[in-house]
Chain A
Amino acid sequence: MRTTWREHAYHAVLWLVALVFFAPIAWIILSSFKTADQILATPPVLLFRPTLDNYVQLFARESFLHQLFNSLFLSISAVLIAVAVSFLAAFSFSRFKPAGTDFLMFLLLSIRMLPGSAAILPVYLMYVGFGWKDTYAGMILFYAMFSIPFSVWILKGFIDGVSPRFDETGRVNGASWLRIITRTILPQVMPGVIAALIFNFIFVWNEFLFNYIIGGLQTSNVPVALTTGLYSSGGVDWTFISALTSVYLVPPVLVVYFFQRYLLVGMTFGTVRGEV
């Protein structure tokens, strides 16, 4: 089909919008290969000899690898636990419909309406009281707890879309509930499971407030490292910020790139069931 000038104009606008949104990211990635003077130069330096010094210094920091590990470990383990628990909860809500299911589902969602700063004080007091502050188990528990409501919502929508006749076929033929859940239902709601994993991964990966307050040296993640390392020698340490941000961007970009079709399914809350 012949492309018309309208389509060209449309594509040009799309590119323009994409560039506007991508510009800060491009700036920070380019800055990570510049010296401090080049970063702050006015007008901006567009042609420069790239340097890897920033990365060398970043990786030489003792705390950095530990914080990067914390980010990955906390995100992956909390999200896996959250999605596993949510899947079983969503299955129960969907199939057994316990009394008050609608209210419970509302309560679950209402947790998402609460701003983090409103919950931080009681959570902090609780964590200090229990001695959970700055422990991996405590952080994973918190992130899993915070990820569960949204996951239950997504997964219940997907499981509702799988006919109970599948479960019944399993039951009649002698399959255990565990087998029905893992072999019959799970494969059919995989897009929802992956969407829940991605959404929660991005949430935990980006989480700053709670890690800063109820975490500590042992469990601090990259967002906390970014904030606490922001100022050095009396000014903003742009070389550190740009290098760390560039590294920090890689995992979510990879996740979104490879699973973007599932992300769309998740955004529609299971209304586009399975068709990815």
Chain B
Amino acid sequence: MSRIRFEGLTKAYKGVMALDHVDLDVAPGSFTVLCGPPRSGKSVLCRLLVGLEAPDAGRILFNGHDIATVPAAERTLGYVPQSFALFPHVSVFDNIAYPLVLQRVAKPEIARRVAQAAELLRIGSLLQKRPAQLSGGEKQRAAIARGILKNADIFILDDPLVGLDFKLRERLMDDLKEMRRVLNATFLYATSDSLEALTMAQDLAVLDAGRLIQAGPVATVYLQPQHVRAAEMIGFPRCNVLPGSVAGGHCTTAAVGFPLAGDVAAGPVLVAIRPEHLMPTTDSMADGIGEITLIEDLGAECVVYFTVAGQSLVTLLPAAQAAAFDLGSRFAFALRPGTATLFSPATGQRVGQAQAAETVHA
């Protein structure tokens, strides 16, 4: 199975940096998700890898070989672009068969493989229809089927589920994971939806403004963010990020304070606290007491917004637990020890971590 490595990959459009010295390893057989907000460089990275554009600097190594000069058609990669790009003037069958027709595969073999791909994506009954007759989800499945039909062991999917409704996305996410297992291939998947990224990824690469800010196994990126933007971008509800200051091995914010693990230079910091790490407790055990401003009911869970000393925070509670609260009610909370992460306000880089052993009251 092929290994991809990006080294110092740089690309700018009219002086605006789209990718800024990106170094990334995509492990063979992994499901790697590129996650970042729009215009963070995800699609550009995909397009450079596929060969639709050339980098300004840096290398793309394919099993150790630089493929910068290899034409797009000769890179053995499957590609599902952001839009469906299904040819409207031919049938779904002809759309899916397209890569095989270009490879001059024999007709019976084409029919067999198209049927197989269509079966995998549950669009077998739609093959004779025109793309205009398909729903959004069916079009996306057809586009994915075409993308996976090429003889390749690396597949690049550029935000393939964008614009689809939640239910459909959920089902297609399962399908894609299953497909990776069946094809036994490497998947590089770009998305701006952090929930989608967390659901799909084995490895996660977080991009922001063209820079790779963190890459690694999904749990590591989630629990040990190395950059404040990684903490902010990954996770739902959004991570609490509040200004604080460090003095004498202790961090203080408007809402909560805690001791630090190891040495952290005194001065201002940004503190990231995951919503689920702020837990309701009794007044006597509380690290802080706030007032609830909004409760969003998600069914099994509730997103609870509250303010403490003018600082807005959010937490995630099981519905049964959230039922005890109302708008405007007091919310005594404790911070799970060792979970808060500190970042430099200047660079955004991680500078320290809360101490795991005990919690100090604010």
Determine whether A184 belongs to the interface, using a CB cutoff of 8 Å to chain B. Answer: yes
Query: In the complex, how many angstroms separate the beta carbon of A176 from the nearest chain B beta carbon?
Result: 9
Evaluate contact between A166 and B73: CB separation under 8 angstroms.
no
- With A172-B73, A172-B77, A175-B102 as contacts: A187 and B89 at CB distance below 8 Å: yes
What's the Cα separation between A163 and B85 when bound, in Å?
8
Task: Chain A residues near B82: list those with CB within 8 A.
Answer: 165
- With A168-B52, A173-B150 as contacts: A163 and B83 at CB distance below 8 Å: yes
Evaluate contact between A172 and B87: CB separation under 8 angstroms.
no
Q: Which of A163, A171, A188 has the most CB of B within 10 A?
A: A171
Task: Chain A residues near B81: list those with CB within 8 A.
Answer: 165, 168-169
What's the Cα separation between A266 and B301 when bound, in Å?
56
Question: A169 is contacted by which of B51, B74, B85, B88 (Cβ under 8 Å)?
Answer: B85
Task: Chain A residues near B73: list those with CB within 8 A.
Answer: 171-175
Evaluate contact between A172 and B72: CB separation under 8 angstroms.
yes
Determine whether B334 belongs to the interface, using a CB cutoff of 8 Å to chain A. Answer: no
Evaluate contact between B51 and A172: CB separation under 8 angstroms.
yes
Closest to A173 in B: B99
Evaluate contact between B52 and A174: CB separation under 8 angstroms.
no
What's the Cα separation between A172 and B103 when bound, in Å?
12
B200-234 contacts to A, CB under 8 A, are none
Question: B89 is contacted by which of A172, A179, A188 (Cβ under 8 Å)?
Answer: A188
Determine whether B236 belongs to the interface, using a CB cutoff of 8 Å to chain A. Answer: no
Query: In the complex, how many angstroms separate the beta carbon of B130 from the nearest chain A beta carbon?
Result: 12
Evaluate contact between B83 and A172: CB separation under 8 angstroms.
no
Q: Which of B74, B77, B89 has the most CB of A within 10 A?
A: B89
Q: Which of A168, A179, A184 has the most CB of B within 10 A?
A: A168
Task: Chain A residues near B50: list those with CB within 8 A.
Answer: 172
Query: In the complex, how many angstroms separate the beta carbon of B272 from the nearest chain A beta carbon?
Result: 37
Evaluate contact between B89 and A171: CB separation under 8 angstroms.
no
B90-106 contacts to A, CB under 8 A, are 98-99, 102-103
Query: In the complex, how many angstroms separate the beta carbon of B341 from the nearest chain A beta carbon?
Result: 40
| Interface size, chain A (Cβ < 8 Å) | 14
What's the Cα separation between A166 and B79 when bound, in Å?
12
Closest to B95 in A: A169
Question: B98 is contacted by which of A165, A173, A188 (Cβ under 8 Å)?
Answer: A173
Task: Chain B residues near A184: list those with CB within 8 A.
Answer: 87
What's the Cα separation between A184 and B150 when bound, in Å?
19
What's the Cα separation between A163 and B88 when bound, in Å?
11
Q: How large is the interface on B (under 10, 10 to 19, 20 to 34, 35 or more residues)?
A: 20 to 34
Evaluate contact between A166 and B87: CB separation under 8 angstroms.
yes
Query: In the complex, how many angstroms separate the beta carbon of B217 from the nearest chain A beta carbon?
Result: 30
What's the Cα separation between A174 and B77 when bound, in Å?
11
A171-191 contacts to B, CB under 8 A, are 171-175, 179, 184, 187-188
Evaluate contact between B102 and A173: CB separation under 8 angstroms.
yes
Task: Chain B residues near A187: list those with CB within 8 A.
Answer: 87, 89
Binary contact track A51-78/B, C-beta < 8 Å → 1, others 0? 0000000000000000000000000000
Task: Chain B residues near A175: list those with CB within 8 A.
Answer: 73, 102
Query: In the complex, how many angstroms separate the beta carbon of B362 from the nearest chain A beta carbon?
Result: 53
Task: Chain B residues near A172: list those with CB within 8 A.
Answer: 50-52, 72-73, 77, 79
Evaluate contact between A169 and B98: CB separation under 8 angstroms.
yes
What's the Cα separation between A187 and B130 when bound, in Å?
14
Closest to B146 in A: A169
What's the Cα separation between A169 and B74 when bound, in Å?
13
Binary contact track B42-66/A, C-beta < 8 Å → 1, others 0? 0000000011100000000000000
Task: Chain B residues near A171: list those with CB within 8 A.
Answer: 51-52, 72-73
Binary contact track B29-48/A, C-beta < 8 Å → 1, others 0? 00000000000000000000
Q: Which of A165, A169, A171, A175 has the most CB of B within 10 A?
A: A169
A224-267 contacts to B, CB under 8 A, are none
B1-38 contacts to A, CB under 8 A, are none
Query: In the complex, how many angstroms separate the beta carbon of A102 from the nearest chain B beta carbon?
Result: 16
- With A165-B81, A168-B52, A169-B81 as contacts: A174 and B102 at CB distance below 8 Å: yes
Task: Chain B residues near A173: list those with CB within 8 A.
Answer: 73, 98-99, 102, 150
What's the Cα separation between A175 and B103 when bound, in Å?
9
What's the Cα separation between A172 and B83 when bound, in Å?
15
Task: Chain B residues near A165: list those with CB within 8 A.
Answer: 81-83, 85
Binary contact track B108-124/A, C-beta < 8 Å → 1, others 0? 00000000000000000
What's the Cα separation between A184 and B77 when bound, in Å?
21
Query: In the complex, how many angstroms separate the beta carbon of A185 from the nearest chain B beta carbon?
Result: 10
Task: Chain A residues near B77: list those with CB within 8 A.
Answer: 172
Q: A172-B51, A174-B73, A188-B88 are in contact. List 19 more A-B contacts (CB 8 A).
A: A163-B85, A168-B81, A169-B85, A169-B87, A169-B98, A171-B52, A171-B72, A172-B52, A172-B72, A172-B73, A173-B73, A173-B98, A173-B150, A174-B74, A174-B99, A174-B102, A175-B73, A175-B102, A179-B102
A-B contact pairs, 27 of them (CB 8 A): A163-B83, A165-B82, A165-B85, A166-B85, A168-B52, A168-B85, A169-B81, A169-B85, A171-B51, A171-B52, A171-B72, A171-B73, A172-B50, A172-B51, A172-B52, A172-B72, A172-B73, A173-B102, A173-B150, A174-B73, A174-B74, A174-B99, A174-B102, A175-B102, A179-B102, A187-B89, A188-B87
Q: Which 9 A-B pairs have the closest CB atoms?
A: A174-B73, A165-B85, A187-B89, A173-B99, A174-B102, A172-B79, A169-B85, A171-B72, A165-B83
